[in-house]
Amino acid sequence: MELVRTTPILLAPGPTEIDPRVLKSMATFAESHFAQPFCNTFGDVLTMLRVLFQSEDPNAQAFVIGGSGTLGWDFVGTNFIEPGEAVLCLSTGYFSDGFEMCLSTYGARTTRMAAPIGTAPDLSVIEEALRTVRYKALVVAHVDTSTGVLTPLKPISDLLKRVSPDTLFVVDGVASVASEDLQFTAWGIDVVVTGSQKAIGCPPGLSILMVSPRALHVANTRKAPPSTWYASLVRWLPIMQNYEKKESSYFATPPTQIVHALRTSLLVMLSRPLEERFQAHREASARVKAAIRELGLTQVARKEEHQANGVTAFWLPDGLTSKDFLSRAAAKGITFVGGMHKELGHKYARFGHMGYSAVSEDAGHIDKGIQVLREVIMEYYSERANDSASRYEATFTGPVRASL
Amino acid sequence: MELVRTTPILLAPGPTEIDPRVLKSMATFAESHFAQPFCNTFGDVLTMLRVLFQSEDPNAQAFVIGGSGTLGWDFVGTNFIEPGEAVLCLSTGYFSDGFEMCLSTYGARTTRMAAPIGTAPDLSVIEEALRTVRYKALVVAHVDTSTGVLTPLKPISDLLKRVSPDTLFVVDGVASVASEDLQFTAWGIDVVVTGSQKAIGCPPGLSILMVSPRALHVANTRKAPPSTWYASLVRWLPIMQNYEKKESSYFATPPTQIVHALRTSLLVMLSRPLEERFQAHREASARVKAAIRELGLTQVARKEEHQANGVTAFWLPDGLTSKDFLSRAAAKGITFVGGMHKELGHKYARFGHMGYSAVSEDAGHIDKGIQVLREVIMEYYSERANDSASRYEATFTGPVRASL
């Protein structure tokens, strides 16, 4: 089966380019979700996810549910937080805010702690908040894809252990799992929400979660029953436990082909040490960020320690809108994506370098992406210089030219 | 790209066998859900779904959301019914009951009207209920996949128009859309919930709905805000409207590859008149049902007018469990599935004949399925006859044989 490419290379922070082996798994023949072969596939996936999440407690549980990463937010809202409970939501962009709004839909009493755009919330401010209110959960986007801001988790983990050990540590890892080091057990994380289509390198369509034994207990013993059917942990838990034992079980039909693709992706990923994968992301990221700098541009994420390794959000030169930038880049064979911010979205663009494109040097995606980025920006600089010169000329010789 | 089959043919009532053209679309290269090519694809899908649903009012709207068919139940529960409102739920099996339980999770005051297994609810009983209580909605599974019982919609539509025109007409079409005639506009249906993996002939992973202007109005003007984030109609509506205009819009990342597969499937499906498709299902169904009869077996659905055209659920011969039947059939290259009923599930099996297998005679799936069905049942009859003969012999000559 040969795959013939006719589309631009996708360097977005999700969906990302897909390893051809993973893509081929998408064309797996139809099979019953009740039959043994699929149980084996799904079982492998659930077990391998433990390794990817660095989850060492056998009583933690991975969940793989048909839907987008966003569905994971509902899963958190309906299972781990009772209506009226206080939740501290750190915000570093569009997705942090979405998570917060989702939780408040489920009745959580949320406190939004937003850092200025491009920065991560200050630890001392978080500590103060944790000392003031007894929060049921602290929610943070490890990487907010909208801004490329990475919030280091280890310091928050240390802070929670020290100041508020009963608070559930909930992480949106949609744009970080498989591109950033994320140590589920060592950092005492209770819930990580992610999707299939970013650094995990599959097509979109799966909501993927890892849940600690403590969070499972919270969900299993909550007073109010879960307010949804499809996102109910108590309904999905036995399904995941059975599939991990390679036994069939039914609540809703899983997206069998994407589960196959996920198995292939995990097999490829885990055939090398995870640290190598993270290092490949750091290197790809460093190359992109160097190119941005050399072009005289600045990143949305201000400090190096808050810059994600899977995506670079950068301010465009004055006068170049993201729409214009994207169409110029697309014409040269690369799909980047624009900014996501109510007022500032059109002023910046995002270069995704996660998953297959970051780890497979042979594919040459990052090289090509940097080349196109340089060409587009340099061409724009050059047009602007000409334009500026001709405007200068127009002003200076205006009356004469006008008379021609 | 050549697809090489190594698995049994799947004759389940979903997932179903996939047209090779559709399967190839699953391996579409990664692309941005914001970029024009995907907007065009998604737009085509949403427009073609109007034709499939026989939805003629331009103000109705199709929704395609990442998730399973089950998610559609949540969509109904959270958008069209306010907590405390009365809903009449007709039940013809496992899935009808699931829908009812889902709605009650969202606070609906449900009345479950269950017909004896294998039958559809009596119209006069429904009429009496509608005359007694002012129901916000009547919910019915067009075909309940668990039993293969089809509930004719036209008579219920007529009844509602006559007796309770304000009641929303909500249909679970998971096992009927694209295999049974379903006239959304003509029958005054307000909501149809379905999935991608049954007669529509795609892999699982999409929740697909068609919603009438009246139901959209109900959702847009409800008093209580929707209680979920991911299944909120007010959040998805502009997304679907924009994509149908082939403009990008974001709420959650759609499963881009399955949307491609759905486009291919719809293109193939709608290249012929829908009535031809329904007729092909009727013919495949008639052949399977004749084979069942010839084997001396009976269907779970008792009356002909209540027998679905996409699935046949049939009682197994005494002593043959569904587990045994399925493994014998699988050994001969066909995956059937077992029953779904708390007490009776192991006593019957289901032969799916929907989607690609039903419409593509060249594939020969139905022939092969009937052949394997015959072989397995005849072999079992023959073993039972021998066994019975030898048991008779054992009884008769017991003492003698025991002394050997």
Which residues have C-beta within 8 Å of that of residue B392, sequence separation ≥ 6? none
**B373 and B236: one domain?**
no
Predicted pLDDT at A394: 55
Out of A10, A101, A205, closest to residue B255 by CB: A205
pLDDT for A360: 95
Q: Is B341 on the interface with A (CB under 8 A)?
A: no
pLDDT over 80 (residue A401)? no
State the distance between the two ends of chain A, measured CA to CA, in whole angstroms: 64
Report the CATH number at residue A112: 3.40.640.10
Cβ proximity of A182 and A53 under 8 Å: yes
Distance CA B220, CA A303 (A): 43
Least confident of A162-176, A251-265, B339-353: B339-353
Question: Do residue A153 and residue A190 come from a single domain?
Answer: yes
pLDDT averaged over every residue in chain B: 95
pLDDT digits (tens, 9 = 90+) for A204-241: 999 999 999 999 999 999 999 999 999 999 999 999 99
Q: Is the per-residue pLDDT at B253 higher than 50?
A: yes
Q: What does the block give as tokens for A203? A: 């097509």
Spell out which residues of chain B touch residue A101, defining contact as CB-CB under 8 Å: 229
Nearest Cα of chain B lies from the Cα of A138 at a distance, in angstroms, of 19
CA distance A225 to chain B (A): 8
Report whether pLDDT(B318) > 60: yes
Confidence band (pLDDT; 50, 70, 90) for B400?
very low
pLDDT of B21 reads 96
Partner residue facing A74 (CB), from B32, B68, B230: B230
- Residue A342, domain extent: 274-393
- The Cβ of residue A290 has, within 10 Å, a number of other Cβ atoms equal to 11
Q: Report the CATH number that the domain containing residue B316 is assigned in CATH.
A: 3.90.1150.10
Residue of B19, B32, B78, B311 best to disrupt the A interface, most CBs of A under 10 A:
B32
**B339 interfaces chain A, CB cutoff of 8 Å:** no
Nearest alpha carbon to residue A167 among A192, A134, A209: A134
Residues B308 and B365 in one domain: yes
Neighbours of A84 (CB within 10 A): 10
In a domain, B1, yes or no: no
3-state secondary structure of A199: coil
Mean pLDDT, range A149-177, rounded to an integer: 98
What is the Cα–Cα distance from A240 to A206, expressed in whole angstroms? 14
**Domain end position, chosen among B270, B288, B317:** B270
Q: What is the dihedral of CA B311, B314, B316, B322, to 10 degrees?
A: 40
Can you tell me which residue has the tokens 């293109």?
Answer: B267
At residue B401, the pLDDT reads 40
Minimal C-alpha gap between B235 and chain A (Å)? 11
The percent helix, strand, coil of chain A (3-state, each to 5) is: 45, 15, 40
Contact A99, A141 (CB under 8 A): yes
Look at residue A402 and tell me if it is in a domain: no
Q: For residue A171, what pLDDT band results from cuts at 50, 70 and 90?
A: very high
How large a percentage of chain A has pLDDT more than 90?
91
Residue B13 lies in a domain: no
pLDDT of residue B343: 84
In a domain, A122, yes or no: yes
pLDDT at B210: 98
Residues B357 and B233 in one domain: no
Non-local (6+) Cβ contacts of B159 within 8 A are: B123, B126, B127, B130
A258: nearest CA partner in chain B: B205
What is the average per-residue pLDDT within B250-265? 97
Interface of A with B in 182-241 (CB under 8 A): 195, 197, 203-205, 225-232
The whole-number pLDDT of residue B398 equals: 43
Do A34 and A158 lie in one domain? The reply is: yes
Find where tokens 């399904």 sit. Answer: A239
Same-domain pairing of A33 and A155: yes
**Cis omega (within 30 of 0) for bond into B15:** yes
* Whether pLDDT at B110 is above 70: yes
A200 neighbors A215 (Cβ within 8 angstroms):
no
Q: How confident is the model at residue A1 (pLDDT cuts 50, 70, 90)?
A: low
User: What DSSP letter does each residue of A17-68 carry, written as one string?
Assistant: ---HHHHHHTTPPP--TTSHHHHHHHHHHHHHHHHHTT---TT-EEEEEES-
Q: Which two tokens stand for residue A288?
A: 């992109």
Q: Do A69 and B253 touch (CB under 8 A)?
A: yes
Give mean pLDDT, residues B75-90: 98
Q: What is the average per-residue pLDDT within A380-391?
A: 87
Sign of the dihedral through C-alpha B18, B254, A195, A76: negative
Whether A5 is covered by a domain: the verdict is: no
Instruction: Give the C-alpha separation, A264 to B57, whole Å.
Output: 44
| Cβ-contact A79, A222 below 8 angstroms | yes
- Range in A125-134, A374-383, B146-155, B342-351 the model is least confident about: B342-351
CB contact under 8 A, A335 and B35: yes
Mark yes or no for CB contact A229/B3 under 8 Å.
Answer: no
Whether residue B229 is predicted with pLDDT greater than 60 in this model: the reply is yes
In this prediction, residue A402 carries a pLDDT of: 38
Interval A178-212: pLDDT, tens = 999 999 999 999 999 999 999 999 999 999 999 99
Inspect the interface and report whether the beta carbons of A1 and B1 lie closer than 8 Å.
yes
Chain A 298-337, residues with CB within 8 Å of chain B CB atoms: 330, 335, 337
State residue B6's pLDDT score.
73
CA angle A400, A403, A404 (to 5 degrees): 95
Q: What is the tens place of the pLDDT at every residue in B54-80?
A: 999 999 999 999 999 999 999 999 999
Q: What is the mean pLDDT of residues B178-193?
A: 98
Q: Are residues A288 and A253 in the same domain?
A: no
Stretch 251-270 of chain B: residues touching chain A, C-beta under 8 Å: 251-258
Contact residues, chain B, for A251 at CB < 8 Å: 70
- Residue B403 in any domain: the answer is no
Residues A350-356, mean pLDDT to the nearest whole number: 98
Q: What pLDDT score does B2 carry?
A: 64
Residues A243 and A310 in one domain: no
**Residues B225 and B255 grouped into a single domain:** yes
Given A10, A74, A253, which is nearest B229 (Cβ)?
A: A74
Chain B residues close to A67, C-beta within 8 Å: 66-67, 71, 230, 252
Helix (DSSP H) and strand (DSSP E) numbers for chain B: 13, 14
A257 → chain B, closest CA residue? B203
Residue B361 pLDDT class (50, 70, 90 cuts): confident
| Confidence band for A399, pLDDT divided at 50, 70 and 90 | very low
> Which residues of chain A does B195 touch, with a Cβ-Cβ cutoff of 8 Å?
253
Token couple for A41: 């596939």
Look at residues A241, A270, A299 and tell me which one is the last residue of a structural domain: A270
Tell me if B15 is assigned to some domain: no
Q: How confident is the model at residue B342 (pLDDT cuts 50, 70, 90)?
A: confident
pLDDT of B341 reads 87
> Is A3 a residue whose pLDDT tops 90?
no
Cα distances from A311 to residues A145, A357, B30, B65, in angstroms, run 7, 12, 17, 26
Are the beta carbons of A139 and A87 closer than 8 angstroms?
A: yes
Among residues B270, B296, B323, the one where a domain terminates is B270
Helix (H) or strand (E) holding A287: helix A274-294
Mean pLDDT (chain A, rounded) = 95
Which of A2, A68, A250 faces B253 most closely, judged by CB atoms? A68
The pTM for the full model equals: 0.95
Q: Residue B7: inside a domain, yes or no?
A: no
**Do B232 and B283 have their domain in common?**
no
Amino acid identity of B322? S
Contact between residue A263 and residue A255 where contact means Cβ atoms under 8 Å apart = no
Pair (A326, A245) in one structural domain: no
Asked if B126 and B247 sit in the same domain, the reply is yes
Per the DSSP assignment, residues forming a β-bridge with A88 are A111, A138
Q: What is the mean pLDDT of residues B373-378?
A: 98
- Overall number of domains in chain A: 2
**Residues of A with CB below 8 A from B31's CB?**
7, 10, 15, 335
**Nearest by CB: B227 against A27, A29, A227:** A227
Model confidence at B402, in pLDDT bands (50, 70, 90)?
A: very low
